[in-house]
Amino acid sequence: MTIDNIDNPAVYWGQLWKSGRRYSPLTDAETMLLDQHAGPGRGRPALDIGCGDGTLARRLAELGYQTTGLDCTPAAPALAEPNTEPVRYCCADIEATQPPPLPQRAYTLITARLLVAFIRDKPAFLRRVRSLLAPGGLFWMVTPMAESLPTERASIGITSADEELLTSLWATARTTDVGSLRCYALRAWGTETETRAH
C-alpha cells in the first residue's frame, strides 16, 4: 500500500473500516505522553485529524477539550461508541482545496495519529495545520518511521526527510519513541497564555 495506490481516500478507507479493519490501538504509553504535553483541556477546542473510530478524539474529550473529529469518510466515525456526545464529527478531507467546514476558527490542540504518511502534499498539509492552530498551540503527531519498518511496510511510515520537513518552523519540536511509533509534540509560535485565551 502506497499513497499512489489510493485514488479516492474516502472510498479506500471507507471500505477498509466497513470490512472490519482496525488499526494500531492507542496505547497507555502514548496516552500518558499526550496527557503530559497537552494538559487539561478546560473547554478549549481540539481537532483530531483522521479521527477514525474516534478513540483519540474521545480521549481528548476526557481531558476536557471541546473536541472535533475530522475524517474523510463517514464510515469511520459511524463506528464510534454510542456515547460520543462530547465529540463532534465532521466528514471532510483535510487535503481538499477548500478548508473543511469546522466549528472553530482556531484550535489549541490538533492531533494526527497514523495519518501523515498518507498525506500527498505534506507542505500544504502543514500550512493548513498551522492555519488552524492557535498561537502557542500544540500539534501532536504520531507515526512510524519508514526506516524502522520492514521494506514491505515502509510506505506506512515517514522518511527522515519527511521528518525534517514536518518538524521545521515550529517554536519547539520534541520527539519520543514508543515502541515502533514516534510521537511528536510540535508547539506553534506564541505563548501558553495566548493559547489559553483562545
**This model's pTM is above 0.75:** yes
pLDDT in tens, 128-164: 999 999 999 999 999 999 988 889 888 889 999 999 9
pLDDT-derived band at 197, boundaries 50, 70, 90: very low
* DSSP secondary structure string for all residues of 28-45: HHHHHHHHHHH---TT-E
Helices 55-62/28-38 angle, 10° precision: 50
From the number of C-beta atoms within 10 Å of its C-beta (0-12, 13-18, 19+), residue 86 rates as middle
